[in-house]
Amino acid sequence: MVVLEARGLKKSFGVLEVLKGVDLTLARGECLVLVGPSGSGKSTLLRCLNLLEAVDSGRILFAGEEITNAGRRAPEIRRRIGMVFQNFELFSHLSALDNIALAPRRVKKEPPARARARAQALLEKVHLPDKADAFPDELSGGQQQRVAIARALAMEPALMLFDEPTSALDPETVGEVLQVMQELSEEGMTSIVVTHEMGFARRAAHRVMFMEAGEAIHEACSADFFGPGVPERVARFLGRIAA
């Protein structure tokens, strides 16, 4: 079953064409890793997919439904698409538990007790069972990012988007975040991950897509992507980030 399909997405900021007709298909349970040089449009693509940014042309289908111009229904669709940001973007005035429980309570109108119980369970899932009362500025980067993942999962999304989730982290804490992401993928979560962590792509991704200057110039299953015979341009990029 196809969870997400994008056809010919185009997006410009003024005269700068950031997406030049991107196609994408994501089956249920699939993990797609998106790589490419800085400025190639990866973040913009993710933001377009969950309607934080409007595309200029092209179509987006989510769970069989056209969502391209959802307009006032956009918030309802975003509820089912989780997003994790490079800089975590936790709500600084709320504890870890309340960060996770906020959207279920306010958006899904879950009873507080239930929202809190689920939030606690999610903290356990991201291996932070005893951080419920900690505030964001009392957590390490890796811990904050895991809370942010739990916060997104609390809305029970059908799709997760990760935008360089480990780029702002100290090397020691990168592993714990990737670990959680890999577990999610193994449980069958459908996800798109923008990352430079090629180890993660090898282990957890089903497919890898390479973007450059607003175009998806190469896409392959992860075994092939890291195998011989990839396009020259991709091989050079991989060589550079491995260095």
- Rounded to a whole number of angstroms, the minimum distance from the CB of residue 213 to Mg ion is 14
| Number of residues that make up the chain | 243
Residue 31: Cβ-neighbour burial (10 angstroms; 0-12, 13-18, 19+): buried
Among 32, 35, 40, 43, the residue binding Mg ion under the rule CB under 5 A is: 43
Which are the contacts of 181, defined by CB distance < 8 A and separation ≥ 6? Answer: 149, 162, 165, 191, 193, 200, 204
Q: Which of residues 124-143 bind another protein (CB under 8 A)?
A: 135, 137-138
Among 27, 61, 107, 168, the residue binding another protein under the rule CB under 8 A is: 107
Map residues 22-61 to x or -, x wherever contact with another protein holds by CB under 8 A.
----------------------------x-x---------
Q: Which of residues 39-68 bind ligand ATP (CB under 6 A)?
A: 39-44
Residue range at the interface with another protein (CB under 8 A); choices 32-40, 57-65, 74-82, 233-241 = 74-82
- Tell me: does residue 195 bind Mg ion (CB under 5 A): no
Which are the contacts of 125, defined by CB distance < 8 A and separation ≥ 6? Answer: 150, 153, 180
How many other C-beta atoms are found inside a 10 Å radius of the C-beta of residue 165? 28
User: Which of Mg ion, ligand ATP, another protein, none has residue 226 at its interface (CB below 5 to 8 Å by kind)?
Assistant: none
Asked if 143 and 125 touch (Cβ cutoff 8 Å), the reply is no
Residues that bind ligand ATP (CB under 6 A): 13, 16, 18, 36, 38-44
